[in-house]
Structures are given as C-alpha cells and as structure tokens.
C-alpha cells in the first residue's frame, strides 16, 4: 500500500469519525472533517508529484536482463561440443 493510499484510508476513517461525532452532537466533528480534507489534499499532492517525476532508468533493466538471458541461451558457434 502506497503512502497516498494510506492517507486516503486515513481520510476515510476520519470522515467516518466526523459523521459519528456530528450524529452525537460533538463539536469535534468539524475538526475531524478538516483533518480528513487535509489528508485527501496531501494524498492528491503526493500522487500529482509522483506522476510528474521522470521514470527512473531502472525500468530499462528488465529489458536488458531479458536480452542477456536470450544471449546466454543461444549456443556459441565458436564453442565445440
């Protein structure tokens, strides 16, 4: 679970608490709703930043590994059996 998913989960729980607090007449309901909104905004910001980052070169590595494996599987024409 990514950090942004954890924040969204936390926001969901805070909204649930805020609704329960409001149902019971607690004044903390608005504070809990504000915290939930902040958590959602932070999650959106994290996702926006993550999508703006360039793809690291490590994503090319699996392709290189596959090519190396194919080369190793091919018989060496210079090698006598």
Per-residue b or e along 40-50, where b marks 16 or more CB atoms closer than 10 Å to that residue's CB: bebbeebbeee
For 3-30, how does the pLDDT look when each residue is reduced to its tens digit (9 = 90+)?
999 999 999 999 999 999 999 999 999 9
pLDDT band at 52 (very low <50, low <70, confident <90, very high): confident
pTM over 0.75: no
Measured at the alpha carbon of residue 54, what is the angle toward residues 48 and 55, in degrees to the nearest 5? 110
For 34-43, how does the pLDDT look when each residue is reduced to its tens digit (9 = 90+)?
999 999 999 9
């Amino acid at each position: 679970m990514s950090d942004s998913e954890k924040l969204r989960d936390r926001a969901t729980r805070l909204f649930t608490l805020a609704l329960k607090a409001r149902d019971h007449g607690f004044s903390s309901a608005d504070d809990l709703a504000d915290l939930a909104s902040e958590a959602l905004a932070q999650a959106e910001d994290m996702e926006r930043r993550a999508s703006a980052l360039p793809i690291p070169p490590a994503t090319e590595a699996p392709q290189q590994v596959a090519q190396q494996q194919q080369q190793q599987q091919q018989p060496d024409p210079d090698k006598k059996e």
